[in-house]
Amino acid sequence: MPGAISSLPSNSLTAARATEITFASDWPFEVTPDWAWRGSTGSGVRVCILDSGIERGHPLIGGVERAVAIELDDDSEIRIVDDQDGDLFGHGTAVGGIVRSLAPDAGIASVRVLGARNRGSGEVMLAGLRWAIEHDYDVINMSLSTSRRELLAALHELTDSAYFRRSVVIAAAHNMAVDSYPWRFSSVFSVGSHEQSDPMCFYYNPAPPVEFYARGLDVEVAWQGGGTLRASGNSFAAAHISAIAALVLAKHPELTPFELKSVMRLTAANTTGARH
């Protein structure tokens, strides 16, 4: 090669800088559920739920630390307001109740992006996700998706931004054979359902885009009016993974999304040697 390169390319690592980013790892020889989350209650971890809102004071949820609503005004401009109405459908309350049941001391926030028919616009969903990322939530649960391909670039950019900022985005796979997003992005934790009744049982899928399977069939969930009902869907499987992620992060707050996904893979029920 003619000539010589006198400096490192952009985004490269100098020898001096390499010594500054050395860090110790206290991972055990075998990563087990006992090491990963046993004894954790989710304390100190903040979970943000993008959904239809959460019913404040529901007996299965209790307090909500923050609740905002993303709205479109008459000029189709995004407005972010304090949510005075709570859950307009029931779905967000169901998701929040699952998180609270497994991670009772995690902080829960609600971003309402869905309306009374459990529907919403892609632009509102993007704005809600952006708000959650900007407020540095540890876990962002998205039991929803969009199939609008014109939104994919912006949505992909946001999920990558969350990944780089160490916010874990956990997204439910579509309940039907539909290509929707963000669950198909590799920067998120994508979740489908299994039939087991154990809420702490989850499986790793070696053939993504669905990466994990968690409890999601015939689940008793919190619902509007302080009540419950039995429901099925990948939405509720995602909530179980969000709760387990909160337990792990509370015990090991130093984990990056990449490391957390590795821990989840090593502690899945179908991983050889994993003990639940």
Structural domain of 124: 31-267
Domain assignment present for residue 251? The answer is: yes
Decide if pLDDT at 205 tops 70.
Answer: yes
How many separate domains does the chain show? 1
Domain assignment present for residue 215? The answer is: yes
Decide if pLDDT at 24 tops 70.
Answer: no
Domain assignment present for residue 258? The answer is: yes
Domain assignment present for residue 19? The answer is: no
**pLDDT range class, residue 94, cuts 50, 70, 90:** very high
Query: Which pLDDT score is estimated for 271?
Result: 92
260: enclosing H helix or E strand:
helix 257-267
Domain assignment present for residue 48? The answer is: yes
What's the rounded Cα separation, in Å, for the pair 203 and 221? 21
**pLDDT range class, residue 5, cuts 50, 70, 90:** low
Residue 100 CA, distance from chain mean position: 14
**pLDDT range class, residue 275, cuts 50, 70, 90:** low
Domain assignment present for residue 143? The answer is: yes
- Triad 236, 241, 243: Cα angle to 5°: 95
Query: Which pLDDT score is estimated for 17?
Result: 83
Give the CATH number, domain containing residue 70: 3.40.50.200
Domain assignment present for residue 272? The answer is: no
The overall longest dimension of the chain from CA atoms, in Å, is: 75
What's the rounded Cα separation, in Å, for the pair 145 and 210? 14
